Amino acid sequence: MKRTAATLALLAALISAILMTPTGALATDGAISWPIRGFNYPSWWHDEYLDQGSGVSLSRMSASGANWVAIIPSQYMDSVTSDTMAPENGGQGRTASDDAVAKAIDDAHARGLKVMLKPHIDISDGSSRWDIRPRHPGIWFSNYGRMIAGYANLAETHHVELFSVGTELVTLTDANYYNNWADVISGVRSVYSGPITYAGSTTECDYLSFGGLLDYLGLDVYFPLSDKAEPTLEELMTGWTDYHGYYGDANWLAPIEQWQAHWNKPVVFTELGYRSVKYAGLSPWDWSNGIYDGDNQARAYEAAFRVLGNKPWLAGVFWWDWMPGEDTGGPGNTDYTIIDKPAEAVVKTWYSFAQAPLLEISTTENLVDWNSYADYLERRLSVDYLVENSGSGQAIEINATGISANNGVSPQTALPVDMGSLDPGNGRVAAVVYHVPVGIASFRATIYVECQDGAGQHYRFPDQQPE
């Protein structure tokens, strides 16, 4: 004999398993939602990526919690008016060789890092790529298209996850050159099957003509944040949206958000960085001499994480930069690298939040039943719970370690209850038996669950469990 369906439905509605967040759940100002957490990894020598030190450096980058790296080879124009670009000195100068680039990609993948291939154009005489004005733009684009398609083909061969079709070519990206870029991008897509971006200067938010042809809107971001030599964390954070200083008054994020809304595509900061110097927030693009201040750099990183960490339009950041050699960085080094500086600890802390799969285990009643007439007489009620993993990582060794109920109801199932392991989005049924005294029509139950993720981090649901 079994209870009627209506009675069972009533019982099912009244029995509840509480779902909570895991121990150490992230506060609003401590969360980071970027799927792309990377560093730029430039090389300005033809065989640097082939050196053993490059692999050591990539291992350390991975240990910081980064999950992406931008591999950067540079080709050179003789002057800003040249129509051609090529590897420097016939391939024996500052251009990373194709073999070296391929090795860097493979080395990164071997360390669990996804790769953006981001070729640069530089000028041999030291001029800025911002000033490129080729004598014959049509010829320049034809040569550039062949060069960039060659890198795109290398990217496809080595399973690169994101490809940049250009970097800061600010004089050549307005509507006058839309058709040229359409041809370049068509050539890239003919040989490369992954998503593409363009690493623009923030000034290009106003006029970049081909955003609709991209998968990600890319920006190299070096906004001034403070005129002070040693600004506070709060002052650096304020500088992102309420800057008042040497360069005027600005909300730096407002035009980016408008740009993103116009194209309705995710934004990735293809570059963002600060040197370890005093006045690091005054002119972040300035790589000239300065006085070492590692704490200043660390505060600028902390401010960026706090301001940008949960922006829904931002897919992530490639920090500028991380160098290939084994002996880069350290106290006294005033460059952008964070290796062996206080900012490295800041990155590790924030990226450790993002690394956690943030498991979410729910236990909801699936079926409430007297399994037999004998069970009914003995008041043994069986409840089948659907245990589901709605988080982003695998839940390992899920166990019900505690069961409580009210109204005099007592759990009869021995603890712990082994619920196995669950991949994201999967579930299974686990049974719990309760003794329900005569006359009790409803009760509330709580299932206490523990598990761990693939990194060995332990989770408990709900967070506060009885001793």
* Domains of the chain, first to last: 5-25+358-461 (2.60.40), 28-355 (3.20.20.80)
Amino acid in position 354: A
Query: What confidence tier does 244 reach under pLDDT thresholds 50, 70, 90?
Result: very high
The helix, strand and coil proportions of the chain, stated in percent and rounded to the nearest 5, come to 30, 25, 45
CB proximity list for 50: less than 8 A, separation 6 or greater = 97, 99, 100, 103
Tell me, what's the pLDDT at 273?
Answer: 98
> Does the pLDDT value for residue 141 go beyond 60?
yes
Question: Which residues, in sequence order, are bridge partners of residue 361?
Answer: 389
Query: What confidence tier does 327 reach under pLDDT thresholds 50, 70, 90?
Result: confident
CB proximity list for 67: less than 8 A, separation 6 or greater = 36, 37, 38, 112, 113, 114, 355
- Residue linked to tokens 């649901």: 461
Residue 15 CA to residue 354 CA, distance in Å, equals 35
Decide which of 463 and 329 is more confident: 329
Q: Alpha helices, DSSP H only, in 136-232?
A: 137-157, 178-189
Tell me, what's the pLDDT at 3?
Answer: 31
Question: Using an 8 Å Cβ cutoff, are 131 and 122 in contact?
Answer: no
Query: What confidence tier does 317 reach under pLDDT thresholds 50, 70, 90?
Result: very high
The string of pLDDT tens digits covering residues 152-192 is 999 999 999 999 999 999 999 999 999 999 999 999 999 99
Decide which of 441 and 71 is more confident: 71
Tell me, what's the pLDDT at 22?
Answer: 30
Question: Using an 8 Å Cβ cutoff, are 267 and 245 in contact?
Answer: no
Tell me, what's the pLDDT at 456?
Answer: 63
Residue 169 CA to residue 5 CA, distance in Å, equals 70
Tell me, what's the pLDDT at 33?
Answer: 76
Decide which of 272 and 371 is more confident: 272
Which of 11-28 are b and which e, b meaning 16 or more Cβ less than 10 Å from the residue's Cβ?
bbeebebebbebeeebee
> Does the pLDDT value for residue 354 go beyond 90?
no
Query: What confidence tier does 4 reach under pLDDT thresholds 50, 70, 90?
Result: very low
What is this structure's pTM? 0.74
Mean pLDDT, all residues of the chain: 89
276 CB-side CA count, 13 A: 22
- In this structure, the number of other CB atoms found within 10 A of the CB of residue 460 comes to 19
Decide which of 274 and 354 is more confident: 274
Amino acid in position 69: V
Query: What confidence tier does 26 reach under pLDDT thresholds 50, 70, 90?
Result: very low
Decide which of 462 and 105 is more confident: 105
What percent of the chain has pLDDT above 90? 73
Least confident interval from 14-28, 32-46, 398-412: 14-28
Query: What confidence tier does 27 reach under pLDDT thresholds 50, 70, 90?
Result: very low
Tell me, what's the pLDDT at 30?
Answer: 53
| Helix/strand number for the chain, H first, E second | 10, 20
> Does the pLDDT value for residue 300 go beyond 50?
yes
Tell me, what's the pLDDT at 197?
Answer: 98
Question: Which residues, in sequence order, are bridge partners of residue 76?
Answer: 86, 122
Residue 142 CA to residue 113 CA, distance in Å, equals 33
> Does the pLDDT value for residue 464 go beyond 80?
no
- Rg of the chain on CA atoms, in Å: 28
Residue 228 CA to residue 142 CA, distance in Å, equals 46
What percent of the chain has pLDDT above 70? 90
Once rounded to an integer, what is the mean pLDDT over residues 454-464? 66
Query: What confidence tier does 358 reach under pLDDT thresholds 50, 70, 90?
Result: low
Q: Residues for the chain: how many in total? A: 467
Decide which of 369 and 339 is more confident: 339
The string of pLDDT tens digits covering residues 183-232 is 999 999 999 999 999 999 999 999 999 999 999 999 999 999 999 999 99
Question: Using an 8 Å Cβ cutoff, are 116 and 160 in contact?
Answer: yes
